[in-house]
């Protein structure tokens, strides 16, 4: 009688059997493109019928690979956090991606463009949780679980082969383009009216973007609740210390080298420099 393969051999057989699946092919080319700093093909190029729910399966495998390489989860970011962007992508709920600790950049630091395909900026707010909270928490419970609010400049990498053509499932399968992010000082949530908060970003003294906090979906706390619901819907659990960033305030823009200054009024100023790769 032929002996049964050992557990290790069974694992190897299982991996070999899925190595040629469309999911595996997408993940291989996505990972190779990320390591080489070159654009990648969105998942719907090869799987046009992929749903957002199915795309979260791929996102989770990307996250697991990063964790195996020694990174850790620092929190989460919302995507499609406006009625217009939801309509444009044909979905009814915001998206969620994972923020990695390796992406956090200090205020005043130089951000290198090495590894970026198409660097961009988005002005946002971050909420740091003091304790865990259920994904269906009401606004009062949510407010009570948040320990601090902070200005956050999200610096995503729009790495699609065509940075103007991608759908909601493509965004999820690329972890909502999460890359580097700059968090300013933490403040009590009562430090400012977050919905009327005016923010702006300038490069070399020239204003690039400006807006007010309410531009994120239906207001900052409603935006936070929407992202927290999506975190729960993807079987993740918020932990104390996690940071959740809501939708962008003002326009998104591309990120050429230069000296930048983000002004968040009562929440402070974030200066940073963007350096061309090799400098």
Tokens of 132: 């865990």
Residues forming beta bridges with residue 125, ordered by sequence position? 151
Q: What is the pLDDT at residue 112?
A: 95
- For residue 209, which of 195, 194, 199, 219 has the smallest C-alpha distance? 199
Count of C-beta atoms within a 10 Å radius of residue 36: 11
Q: Does the pLDDT of residue 18 top 70, yes or no?
A: no
CATH architecture, range 11-275: Alpha-Beta Complex (3.90)
**pLDDT confidence tier of residue 10, bands split at 50, 70 and 90:** very low
Q: Which two tokens stand for residue 75?
A: 């929190």
Task: Decide: 132 and 239 in contact? Cβ < 8 Å.
Answer: yes
Q: What is the mean pLDDT of residues 120-144?
A: 95
Residue 190 CB contacts under 8 Å (≥ 6 apart), including other chains: none
Both structure tokens of 129: 């949780």
DSSP assignment of 187-228 equals B-GGGS-TTT-EEEEEETTEEEEEEEGGGSTT-HHHHHHHHH
* pLDDT band for position 20 (cuts 50, 70, 90): confident
Could you report the per-residue pLDDT of 188-218, keeping only the tens digit for each? 999 999 999 999 999 999 999 999 999 999 8
The 10s digit of each residue's pLDDT in 50-59 is 999 999 999 9
Q: Give me 29's structure tokens.
A: 């080319």
Q: Give residue 218's pLDDT.
A: 87
Query: Does residue 1 have a pLDDT over 50?
Result: no
pLDDT tens by residue, 89-106: 999 999 999 999 999 999
pTM of the model: 0.90
Q: What pLDDT is recorded for position 61? A: 96
Q: Are strands 120-129 and 253-254 parallel, antiparallel or unpaired?
A: antiparallel
What pLDDT does residue 12 have? 40
Q: Which of 174, 181, 179, 175 is nearest to 160 (CA)?
A: 174
Two tokens, residue 225: 């609740």
Q: What is the pLDDT, as a whole number, of residue 163?
A: 87
Kindly give the interhelix angle for 52-68 and 22-36, rounded to the nearest 10 degrees: 50
Using CA atoms, how far apart are residues 217 and 194, in angstroms rounded to an integer? 13
Q: Between residues 83 and 12, which one has the greater pLDDT?
A: 83
Q: Residue 8 pLDDT > 50, yes or no? A: no
State the maximum Cα–Cα separation within the chain, in Å, rounded to a whole number: 79
Q: How confident is the model at residue 19 (pLDDT cuts 50, 70, 90)?
A: low
Residue 272: strand, helix, or coil? strand
List 198's β-bridge partners, or say none: 212
């Amino acid at each position: 009688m032929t002996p049964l393969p050992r557990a290790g051999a069974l694992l190897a057989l299982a991996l070999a059997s899925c190595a040629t699946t469309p999911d595996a092919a997408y993940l291989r080319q996505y990972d190779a493109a990320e390591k080489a700093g070159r654009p990648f093909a969105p998942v719907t190029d090869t799987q046009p019928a992929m749903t957002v729910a199915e795309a979260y399966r791929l996102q989770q495998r990307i996250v697991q690979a990063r964790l195996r390489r020694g990174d850790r989860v620092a929190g989460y970011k919302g995507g499609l956090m406006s009625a217009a962007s939801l309509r444009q992508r044909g979905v009814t709920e915001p998206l969620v991606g994972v923020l990695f600790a390796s992406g956090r950049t200090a205020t005043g630091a130089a951000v290198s463009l090495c590894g970026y395909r198409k660097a961009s900026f988005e002005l946002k707010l971050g909420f740091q949780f003091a304790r865990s909270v259920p994904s269906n928490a009401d606004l009062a419970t949510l407010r009570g679980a948040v320990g601090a609010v902070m200005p956050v400049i999200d610096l995503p990498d729009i790495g699609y082969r065509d940075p103007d053509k991608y759908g909601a499932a493509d965004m999820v399968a690329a972890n909502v383009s999460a890359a580097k992010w700059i968090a300013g000082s933490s403040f009590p949530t009562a430090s400012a009216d977050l919905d009327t908060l005016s923010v702006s970003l300038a490069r070399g003294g020239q204003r690039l973007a400006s807006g007010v906090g309410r531009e994120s979906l239906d207001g900052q706390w409603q935006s936070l609740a929407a992202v927290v619901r999506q975190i729960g819907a993807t079987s993740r659990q918020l932990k104390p210390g996690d940071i959740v960033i809501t939708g962008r305030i003002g326009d998104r823009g591309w990120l050429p080298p230069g000296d930048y200054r983000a002004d968040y009024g009562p929440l402070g100023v974030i200066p940073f420099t963007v350096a061309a790769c090799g400098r």
